Amino acid sequence: MIRKKKILILASAQFGYSTTIYKYCEHALEHFEITYIGWDYGLPKIELPEIEIKYVSRKSNIIIRNIRLLYAFHKQINSGYDLIFANYVRGIALVKVMNNNAKFILYVDTLGISPNKIKRLIFDWVLSFELNFFKNIALISSGISKRIRIKNYHVLPLGGHCFSKRSKSFQQLSLLYVGTLSNRNILECVKGFHEFIKKNKDMVSAKPCFSIVGDSPFGELEEIKKYVRGHKLEAYICTPGFVHSTKLGPFFDNANIGVAYVPITPYYQYQPPTKTFEYLISGLPVIATATYANKEIVSPKVSELITDDADAFCGAILKIQKRKNEFESKWIREQYEKYTWRNVVKEKLIPLIELVLKSKQ
């Protein structure tokens, strides 16, 4: 029997709370023996059969706990692994220097996204510096390379889960936004949808609806609910708050338009939203803000790309409504099937790991 290669995954997230890493683990299990080490945020524990999960305490101040995390990485590497898959955390270059003979893949899935420009610049500068210590670098999208000016890298893209295989009718509009509300300005979508209703009173009898699934720690959900109550939109806009991914199926079954809306800012330009893939994989055309990342993913045949304001969102709904006879959910699903997590792992992650395993470090 051939021994499975041993892979160690280093990350800052508690296991299961980074969808990308969780899905990579889930679909690579049959090929590799996987150990995961990351922080314990005190959240409910998520497990995967056959994955060994190790937690690092976040007690004490930011300096002590970061040193503790990096030391835990170093110590675990000494247990012996064929390859280290490191999701970027600040200071990871120190771990690489201390374990220079180990084979590493450094995975970068985000740039600095703080609204504070100085903090973004510092994050990106430190990241760019640390990349110099790694031979094998994987980026979540080619767009990230434009900000950190790196030439030698592999693209390890996001994937998505198919939440619905139902054949869609597009005669009655049913919009769906799923994701965080933190710093996303989803209230602009609400205002745009409200404007659409006001401008198309003859369609109100068809009961267009908009489900907004998500929450944030900064009060955006309550702000949206306040607007909905104040304008008596309860019959059209549903705001259930956070819903776990295992319970999202009915929302995707009932929707026929996905909303892939992030503000068009320098720090969101290259961040591909997971839900853009999942809407399309589930057979939903999308209204998407025209970020670099969204433009890389969506075809004009299945989307309306917009600026990040209420008027543009209203206009996109009108255009989608006029195009309703163009869409076929089965066709959309087939075009984007290659972006399912299983296919991304099979076609991108596993070949990259095997390439690095065969290489000379």
Tallying the residues shown for the chain, one arrives at 361
- Helix ranges (H only) for 167-271 are 186-199, 220-230, 249-254
Between helices 186-199 and 220-230, what is the axis angle to 10°? Answer: 20
336-359 pLDDT tens trace: 999 999 999 999 999 999 999 998
Summary mean pLDDT of the chain: 91
Residue-level pLDDT at 266: 81
Mean pLDDT along residues 188-192: 97
In order, the DSSP letters of 150-169 are: --S-EE----B-----PPPP
CATH 1.10.3720.10 assigned to domain 174-339? The reply is no
pLDDT for residue 334 is more than 70:
yes
pLDDT band per the 50, 70, 90 thresholds, residue 204: low
pTM of the full structure? 0.84
Band the pLDDT of 310: cuts 50, 70, 90.
Answer: very high
In the chain, domain spans: 5-159+340-358, 174-339
SS3 218: coil
Asked whether this chain's domains 5-159+340-358 and 174-339 adopt the same fold, the reply is yes
Residue 346 CB neighbours (<10 A) = 15
CA separation for the pair 137, 93 (Å, rounded): 12
Judge whether residue 212 has pLDDT over 60. Answer: yes
Q: What is the pLDDT of residues 116-175, one digit of tens each?
A: 788 888 988 999 999 999 999 999 888 888 778 888 999 998 889 999 999 999 888 999
Q: Report how far residue 308's alpha carbon sits from residue 269's, in angstroms, rounded to the nearest whole number.
A: 12
Residue 1 in this model has a pLDDT that exceeds 70: no
- Indicate whether 215 pLDDT > 80: yes
Counting residues of the chain whose pLDDT is more than 90, the rounded percentage is 71
CATH number for the region 5-159+340-358 comes to 3.40.50.2000
Q: Once rounded to an integer, what is the mean pLDDT over residues 27-39?
A: 95
Average pLDDT over residues 317-334: 94
